[in-house]
Amino acid sequence: MQLFKELLRNDIKNRYTGSMLGIMWSVVQPLSSLLIYYFIFSVILKMKIGTAYEGVSFTFWLLAGILPWFLFSEVLPRATGCIIDNASIIKKIVFPSQILPVVTFFSGLVNHCITIILFIIGVFIFNHEAVNMNLWLLLVYLVPLFLLTTGLSMITASLNVFLRDIGQLIGIVLNIWFYMTPIIYPISAVPESFKTYIIWNPVYPITEGYRLLFFKAQLIDSWTLTYTYLVSTLIFIIGYFIFSKLKKSFADVL
């Protein structure tokens, strides 16, 4: 536990070392994204959702779904390079290096919590009639998000040691994955022939779950939630297994 705390503190500190604003970038970056989305979708495009979330502005509907994606898409690329970034430690010290992707997730979780606070403030200011939140239940979605993100991170981080193209490829995969997830469009807009594939996307229940908690104070249906937990747990187990098999050769390659 002490090692985890030390690595987490160093990761957060090193992200902003040398910058004038330091940790304040954790506020500036998500706030700028929230303001940009608000300006584009509410002021310029004046987008509407439909009847599914009546009374909710398109901007906050979009932002509620994009919050977990922010965390997922921030952590996965950073965690992919975590073994290479900590090569000096891995070559000198014997420790459970599986902890590195976990540290990266919790480091990103700090930004995630700040972004959620900013989002809630924005909803209360601009769309307060839509507020019907049950924030305690966010943990229900953070658990599979942790398992999914960390499992994939273990896979990409371990493979990236031997094939450095993985770090470049992950950006392309995330870009495709983003548009294959109903974040900037509702699931109702997807043609029936493609809807089945979209629903099996393990990130979709999490993004939709956030929206339901923020605006309807309810959980997604039990079948979908169970599926999300099963897939996320399976990916985590696979990731842990691959990482454990490959970690023996890390020091030699690095």
Could you write out the three-class secondary structure of the chain?
Answer: CHHHHHHHHHHHHHHCCCCCCHHHHHHHHHHHHHHHHHHHHHHHCCCCCCCCCCCCCHHHHHHHHHHHHHHHHHHHHHHHCHHHHCHHHHHHCCCCCCHHHHHHHHHHHHHHHHHHHHHHHHHHHHCHHHCCCCHHHHHHHHHHHHHHHHHHHHHHHHHHHHCCHHHHHHHHHHHHHHHCCCCCCCHHHCCHHHHHHHHCCCCHHHHHHHHHHHHCCCCCCHHHHHHHHHHHHHHHHHHHHHHHHHHHHHHHHC
| Residue-by-residue pLDDT tens, the chain, 254 positions | 777 788 888 777 777 665 555 566 666 776 777 678 778 876 787 777 766 777 788 888 888 999 999 999 999 999 999 888 888 788 777 777 889 999 999 999 988 988 888 888 888 887 776 667 777 889 999 999 999 999 999 999 999 999 888 988 999 999 999 989 988 888 888 888 888 788 889 999 999 999 999 888 888 899 999 999 999 999 999 999 999 999 888 877 76
